[in-house]
Amino acid sequence: MRNRIAHFLTASLITVSIFCVIVFAALGLYLNKKNSATINQVGTIYMASMNERISKHFETMTDLRLAQIRTLAETIPAAKRNDAAALKTWLTESAQARGFDSLSYYYEDGSMEVLYGGGGQFLDSEPFAASLKEGEDKVYVGRNPAGDLVVLMGVPFRMELPNGRICAALVGELPVSYISDTLSLEDEDSLVYSFVIRKDGSFVIRSFDAFRNSYFERVLAIYEELDGKEPEDYLAEIKAAIASGEDYSTIFRMYGDRRHLYCSSLPNSEWYLVTVMPYGVLNEAVEDMGVQSLAAAMCCCAAILLVLLAVFLKYFRMNREQMTELEEARREAEEASRSKSEFLSNMSHDIRTPMNAIVGMTAIASANINDSQQVQNCLKKITLSSKHLLGLINDVLDMSKIESGKMTLNTELISLREIMDSIVSIVQPQVKAKNQRFNVFIYDISSENVRGDSVRLNQIMLNLLSNAIKFTPEGGSIELALHEEKSPKGDDRVRIRIRVKDTGIGMSEEFRKHIFESFTREDSKRVHKIEGTGLGMAITKYIVDAMGGEITVASQQGKGTEFQVVLDLERAEEREEDMILPDWTMLVVDDDQQLCESTVASLKSIGIRAEWTLDGESAVKMVTQHHKIHNDYHVILLDWKLPGMDGVKTARELRRQLGDDVPILLMSAYDWSEIEEEARDAGISGFLAKPLFRSTLFYGLLPYTGGEEETEREKKPAADLSGRRLLVAEDNELNWEISRELLGSMGLELEWAENGQICLDMFQQSPSGYYDAILMDIRMPVMNGYEAADAIRALDRPDAGLPIVAMTADAFSEDIQRCLEHGMNAHVAKPVDIKELAAVLERYL
């Protein structure tokens, strides 16, 4: 392809170049031709005027000479007329005085008598005889006895001579040179030279280098072919012009030189004047100009070609780049499609594995339908496989949503404590199953509530954790840490740093670079046994990016992996709940110093002074010291897993020293149900689930402050809602009654609307601010919940923006999304959970 384009470009470049050269050359040549045509025209005009001048000159001269002879004849004195001798003498003297070489009588019979001089004879007496009859004065050419050409001037003059003969004319003779000198035909300096010829081509005046007798011979001998015209053609043209007595002009070549020829007839004679102008100098100038214009044209051509070449080169380069880009894109597309098909084959393998299990287990179960133990076992395995399959499918769906750009983020109130608690509870069984050590830390939590997408935040942490669990062998350890720090994006935001660290198999440097790409899994034997889609990290990365955060990974093969996610989330306004506990002194025992310090700081913020230590032994020492000076700690927080003496042992020891008075709480990120009995035996009063948020500590410690305060607090949220009036849109009476019963117990006043239309009407007819909120079922006859919400939001009332909470048995995220799109504030799933509903209402009321 690339070659074809290169070939095409080269070929077209060459074609265009050749075309340019030809066009410019033709232009140059054309101009040249035009030039020489113009020069010819100028030459013709010049030569015509030159010939005319010479003709005029010739006419004047011949007129003068002819007049002289006529005067001579007419002025013969009468006395001398009859005396032959006297007449001859007088005529001779007079003619000599006027410079004639000879003078002759011309008799009627055509004979001539010479009066003096050589006496030239007519070369051809016929024309003279003819003009004699007409009575015309003319000049003719003749030859003297020496054989030289002479000019004869005949003037008809009838006179009876003394000897009795009748003289028809007087003929005077002049040398040819006289005419040529007078006409300056042989001026060396002149650009032009001329001949005088007779009608038959023979020369009268031969100037320049002419030596032949006839000009016609000269034409045939020295004219060269020019523009396809042969010397014969010229000759024919000249002859024709002479015969018709017209002027004739042409260009010819002689001795390789272009010359201009101009012929015109001479007056007072039968002669022709032939003038020739060699172009020589003129030609040089013209040719010079021609060359110059051609050169200029070629220069233009070269310039244009250069520009063209530059454009071509540029285009070629651009084309090349484009091709390279295209190639790159194609390669990427191929790569993507390859990894997709690889993914597909992996996927089908991954899907087939649980499917096989499901099919196989179903078969086994059917075969052993009466063995309930066996069936139960099979069902358990089927459930596990189904769950796994569902996970795979969810991942693929998520990824396709991401790839088509359909994933959106919600902004809602997130309680970090709730998220951490739920994650810990999800992860615990998995960690336990693989017998791994699991620890959760939180540090410097300044804002427990933030705004963001809790589902996606959960997904990020779960993905990281499930990977950590997956790729960490039994007995390894996994750590989840959450920090808060000042966000560089402003005071209304807080930077959250999530760290997930494991001591697993780690990954290769090569793989680390591709970990966030879709459909990649480390392709080595180590991970082949571990199922997964290879989408988890790509999804995680995408979510983190969409949240404007950053995810990094550090890993060493065989040592473990550490992921860090940094997110800047909006702080949610902290509920002004004064979480203050009595002025206690507490001891915190944990092997992680940072956790101790952070916990002590959290405790300080709820009004408790606390001390900390890193192991059970020193804790026992500190407690003993305090006990001795009767200044016991009010509460002791013990970590379960401690180096050396563990939490339970330490508690046993402390109880031995302190008795039963002081509450000792065990904190743990694990499910403590298994050790609960043992712990209680050892004297543990209660448990605190890690991570220890401020609120975790507050609510965890609250029971030890004395009963009254606790009950007061339990009641408090319900009291907040009493007296509020709710409109409940619900088509089913039974459901309505249940809602009324449950919500009524919270002190809420409720009114019932049987469908969306009634709900809308009731709201419209109520005074402004009468209802505090609307609970909206979605599937109702007449008008459904979406339409009702739209209609209410469209009303022109100050309270048209009141909180509307959707209640529906559908909990698909699309349905929830649709509720929000229709202007509802929140969604609760049926069956209505009183606590959840109360929390939602509290948020909006």
Partner 1 sequence: MTLQDCYTALGGDYADVSARLRSDRLVRKFVLKFLEDKSCDLLRTSMAEKNYEEAFRAAHTIKGVCQNLSFTRLGESSSRLSDALRHGWTPEADGLAQQVEADYLVTAEAIRAYQEAEE
Q: How many C-beta neighbours within 10 Å does residue 556 have? A: 13
731 binds partner 1, rule: CB under 8 A = yes
Q: Is 171 buried (19+), middle (13-18) or exposed (0-12) by CB count in 10 A?
A: buried
For the CB of residue 811, give the shortest distance to partner 1 in the complex, in Å: 10
Please identify, among the stretches 39-47, 398-406, 552-560, 725-733, the one whose residues bind partner 1 according to the rule CB under 8 A: 725-733
334 binds partner 1 (CB under 8 A): no
Q: Does 833 bind partner 1 (CB under 8 A)?
A: yes
Q: Which of 255, 734, 767, 796 binds partner 1 (CB under 8 A)?
A: 734
Q: How far apart are CA 467 and CA 476, in angstroms?
A: 13
Residue (524 or 813) nearer to partner 1, CB = 813
Pairing of strands 585-589, 635-639: parallel
Half-sphere exposure of 601 (CA within 13 A, CB side): 12
R_g (Cα) of the chain, nearest Å: 65
**Residue 709: partners with Cβ closer than 8 Å, 6 or more residues away:** 702
Binding of residue 735 to partner 1 (CB under 8 A): yes
Confirm if 402 and 645 have CB atoms less than 8 A apart: no
Q: What is the 3-state secondary structure (H, E, C) of 796-828?
A: CCCCCCCCEEEEECCCCHHHHHHHHHCCCCEEE
Spell out a b/e string for 77-104, using b for 16 or more CB atoms within 10 Å of the CB, else e: eeebeeeeeebbebbbebbeebebbbbb
Cα 521 from Cα 174, distance rounded (Å): 126
* Residue 834 C-beta: closest distance to partner 1, Å: 7
Residues 6+ apart with CB under 8 A from 477: 436, 437, 438, 439, 502, 503
- Hey, is 793 helix, strand or coil? helix
The one among 577, 618, 831, 844 contacting partner 1 by CB under 8 A: 831
In the complex, minimum distance from the CB of residue 783 to partner 1, in angstroms, rounded to a whole number = 12
Say whether residue 74 binds partner 1 (CB under 8 A). Answer: no
Count of residues near partner 1 by CB under 8 A: 21
Closer CB to partner 1, 323 or 834, in the complex: 834
Which of 156, 785 has the CB closer to partner 1?
A: 785
Stretch 791-820 residues interacting with partner 1 (CB under 8 A): 808-809
Residue 839 in the binding site for partner 1 (CB under 8 A)? no
The 10 Å Cβ neighbour count of residue 413 is 14
C-alpha distance across the termini of the chain, in Å: 70
Q: Is 67 in the site for partner 1 (CB under 8 A)?
A: no
Closest CA to 587 of 517, 664, 644: 664
- For position 523 contacting partner 1 by CB under 8 A, the verdict is no
**Pick from 225, 288, 733, 842: which binds partner 1 (CB under 8 A)?**
733
| Sites for partner 1 among residues 757-796 (CB under 8 A) | 777, 779-781
Which secondary structure element, helix H or strand E, spans residue 500, and what is its range? Answer: strand 493-502
The stretch near partner 1 (CB under 8 A) out of 315-323, 559-567, 699-707, 827-835 is: 827-835
Using CB under 8 A, which of the segments 188-196, 254-262, 353-361, 828-836 binds partner 1?
828-836
Where does this chain touch partner 1 (CB under 8 A) — which range of 136-144, 348-356, 468-476, 831-839? 831-839
834 near partner 1 (CB under 8 A): yes
Residue 746 contacts partner 1 per CB under 8 A: no
The residue (of 26 and 393) whose beta carbon lies closer to partner 1 is 393
Least distance CB 775 / partner 1 (angstroms): 13
Taking the CA atoms of 456, 457, 462 and 467 in sequence, report the sign of the dihedral they define: positive
Separation between Cα atoms, residue 737 and residue 732, nearest integer Å: 9
Instruction: Report in angstroms how near the CB of residue 473 gets to partner 1 at its nearest.
Output: 39
> Which range of residues in 170-178, 263-271, 692-700, 830-838 is near partner 1 by CB under 8 A?
830-838
Nearer to partner 1, 398 or 730 (CB): 730
Contacting residue, 304, 426, 738, 845, with partner 1 by CB under 8 A: 738
832 binds partner 1 (CB under 8 A): yes
**Quick one: tokens of 772?**
């505090």
| Of residues 135 and 831, the one with the C-beta less far from partner 1 | 831
Nearer residue to partner 1 within complex by CB, 69 or 826:
826
> Minimal distance in Å, beta carbon 432 to partner 1?
25
Note the residues at the interface with partner 1 (CB under 8 A): 731-735, 737-738, 741-742, 745, 777, 779-781, 808-809, 830-834
